[in-house]
Amino acid sequence: MSEAAFRKFLWMELIGFDNRLADYGVGEFLLRMPVQPEVISILIWNTDLIHLHHGLAEDGPIGLKHCAYHARPRNEEHDIQNWTRFQLRGLVQELHHHGVKVFVSFFDQLMSKETQRQLGLPDTDEWIDHHQEVRYVDCNGRKTSLCIWKHVSDGTLYEDFFISQLEAFLRDYGFDGLHGADGYGHPRENIAHADFSDDMVGQFMVDAKVSCPTELALPERAKWILENKRKEWTDFHARRHAQFWRKMIAMLNRNGWDHAINSCWTRDPLEARIRYGVDVRLMVEAGVRRWICEANAAALELEGWDYTDVPKADDYRATVQRLKACCPECEILLLHCVKDGLEQYNVLHHAPTLMETDVLSLANVLCNGKRVLDGVTVCLADGIRKSEWEMFDELYGKAFAAQPSQLYYPRVVWSDAAHRREQEAYRYGNTAMNSHVLHAALLSHGAVLPAIVRLEDLPANGAGPLVVLHPAFFSADERQKIHAAADGNVVEIGLDGKEDAFTFKLFMNGVCQKECHAPLGDVYRPKDVYSWLDELPERRPEDDFLADAASAVNEAFSIMQTEADVENLRLWGYGATDGLFHLFISNRKHTYAWAHILLKKRAVFGQLLSGGFVMPPVMEETADGGTRLQFKLPPMGTVGMTLKI
């Protein structure tokens, strides 16, 4: 960890520097921010520069498409510049001079000749022009981006060619590591969408020891595989992706280079495997030790891409908890999406309160009593003014300042074995909402569940109240251990032996105080959804059942609950090592809102941590020894405060 108590990475393009200056603008850029970044990941957009790399004996332009994301023509400070190979190497050296490590990152995307002409770029001879065989072939036979698992025309696996080229590239330019981004860190295409070429289906049949009717043309071939061998197809992709990264991590480790890998399209571990064939545990076994978690709720809400019933902010609070629980040995950085000049969103300028909420909420969810996140990766980090960097670093400092020591609400239990059982039992298009979706749905109904705990780390007793999602996937021994650890204070919700109904059970001191059931509705989504923004086709109970469950959890086991507007207000917090209770509450409305919070303990106000207000909350003692707090919340924003309880 850095001196600032959080790790700080930046993700940016060459357009964020200036090749007209002797130091490429590095000195002035770093002086803008109070907290110096540990790592800067340079996005060269696509991999043609690596495919065609043949050493650095001679200088020459690297091409505009590598100097900015999709060769975007300008940023807030200047027009795109065509950097040379020697200048790129010089930039890496200059950043090293300032104590900053440099990673390289890239996508699997390709630029058509037509797009090159539209952008005024020269019609260059690219590696992919001679190797169309490594492009994705989707379920309709259309070629899309580059597929990292295929064979080159001479029979070599692309991964073997690419890793060899990348090794030379990293060494020659002096990079310190690799940032595995979209298309390499995880597949761009959903496994129901691609790749169904002879190459991939042939690999599938050998690897999975299955037979497929290869004489079928697309899309009939894709349809047959998905209807008859979907589980095997998913397992194959999980092994195939892990194989790629096993080779990559081995190469990086052999050279003493570091890595960071983008998590899979903002998905939790279960959905990453089901939809994209990315098995988090297999990736950890392959050597992955640092994830950059894509959990950019603010940007998605601004784009209008919040398609699901559960708000993205709730979805991602569950996601980061479950990712950490699945791979506790890994470091996790939040991909803090503040702006993108090509994709044209700007949370920094257009929704600063929403941006603040993202950081404060995701930095303060916990696994095994510790923060899930170790820091942030600012995306994209070019064109940000000094005053804005000061605001960022102040926000990060507040978000990561306190050290959790005591929880006043139940924890969700994670079991590796239950996770595997749920994966094995999953039937695409004909199953109940999975554990992650259930977790997020409870959060969206106001359940105070910002912490998760691994089953193996539970004590014999005294663990505090616990929540079990889908108890059907937990063995009898596991459930017994949970009840013993929680001293009989347990909530069980979800599948519990019946495939067509959810069960809710509330145990207090070992006695079931409440039990109710709800039938599952029909699947209401298309059978195959291709976009990472769409929900999986799953069956779920009525919202009233989930809302009642969330309310019952809070009333039984949480120290805090909202007394009004549960739909729009979210609560989280913890007792910290400074002896104070750190309370956060966010407002999902686009207008100011008044929060009415009930604490089940006497509380004395400390100080405001965030929210932009100076007035303390109105506080009133209750007859039963609690405290009511009333305070104003900013639109789409968060108020944080400390209390003595």
- Structure token digits, residue 84: 């040379």
Last residue of a domain, one of 406, 434, 456: 406
Whole-number pLDDT of residue 523:
86
Residue 369: pLDDT above 90?
Answer: yes
Largest Cα separation within the chain, whole Å, is 80
- Residue 1 located in a structural domain: no
178: part of which helix (H) or strand (E)? strand 177-180
Question: φ, ψ for residue 444 (rounded to 5)?
Answer: -70, -20
Confidence category of residue 436, pLDDT binned at 50, 70, 90: very high
Confidence category of residue 430, pLDDT binned at 50, 70, 90: confident
Q: Based on the number of CB atoms within 10 Å of its own CB, is 413 exposed (0-12), middle (13-18) or buried (19 or more)?
A: buried
Confidence category of residue 2, pLDDT binned at 50, 70, 90: very low
How many CB atoms lie under 10 A from the CB of residue 568?
17
Rounded to the nearest angstrom, the gap between the alpha carbon of residue 117 and the centroid of all alpha carbons in its chain is 35
Average pLDDT over residues 528-549: 92
Residue 1: pLDDT above 60?
Answer: no
* Cα distance between residue 76 and residue 109, in whole Å: 24
- Residue 70 located in a structural domain: yes
* Average confidence score pLDDT of the chain: 96
One domain, residues 144 and 257: yes
Query: What pTM was computed for the model?
Result: 0.97
Is 179 within 8 Å of 38 (Cβ atoms)? no
**CATH label of the domain that carries residue 351:** 3.20.20.80
- Residue 538 located in a structural domain: yes
Encode pLDDT of 117-173 as tens digits.
999 999 889 999 999 999 999 999 999 999 999 999 999 999 999 999 999 999 999
Residue 529: pLDDT above 90?
Answer: no
Average pLDDT over residues 354-360: 96
One domain, residues 255 and 275: yes
Whole-number pLDDT of residue 3:
61
Domain span holding position 374: 7-406
Q: Indicate the angle between helix axes 269-276 and 312-326, nearest 10 degrees.
A: 90
- Residue 505 located in a structural domain: yes
Is 260 within 8 Å of 41 (Cβ atoms)? yes
* Cα distance between residue 392 and residue 338, in whole Å: 10
One domain, residues 191 and 177: yes
* Cα distance between residue 206 and residue 18, in whole Å: 50
One domain, residues 162 and 202: yes
* Cα distance between residue 536 and residue 175, in whole Å: 39
Whole-number pLDDT of residue 556:
98
Whole-number pLDDT of residue 499:
79
Whole-number pLDDT of residue 527:
74
Whole-number pLDDT of residue 4:
75
Convert 153-168 to b/e letters by CB count within 10 Å (16 or more is b).
eeeebbbebbbebbbe
- Residue 564 located in a structural domain: no
One domain, residues 625 and 531: no
Q: If DSSP codes are grouped into helix, strand and coil, which group holds residue 593?
A: strand
Average pLDDT over residues 573-601: 97
- Residue 234 located in a structural domain: yes
Encode pLDDT of 78-93 as tens digits.
999 999 999 999 999 9
Pairing of strands 135-137, 7-13: unpaired
One domain, residues 453 and 310: no
Average pLDDT over residues 296-312: 91
Is 277 within 8 Å of 240 (Cβ atoms)? yes
Whole-number pLDDT of residue 97:
98
* Cα distance between residue 179 and residue 172, in whole Å: 17
CA angle 124, 125, 131 (to 5 degrees): 140
Last residue of a domain, one of 406, 422, 444: 406
One domain, residues 315 and 442: no
Encode pLDDT of 121-133 as tens digits.
998 899 999 999 9
Average pLDDT over residues 31-55: 98
- Residue 2 located in a structural domain: no
Whole-number pLDDT of residue 285:
98
Count: domains in the chain? 3
Residue 175: pLDDT above 50?
Answer: yes
One domain, residues 534 and 607: no
One domain, residues 470 and 604: no
One domain, residues 529 and 620: no
One domain, residues 384 and 288: yes
Encode pLDDT of 466-489 as tens digits.
999 999 999 999 999 999 999 999
**CATH label of the domain that carries residue 604:** 2.60.40
- Residue 563 located in a structural domain: no
One domain, residues 40 and 55: yes
Last residue of a domain, one of 406, 429, 461: 406
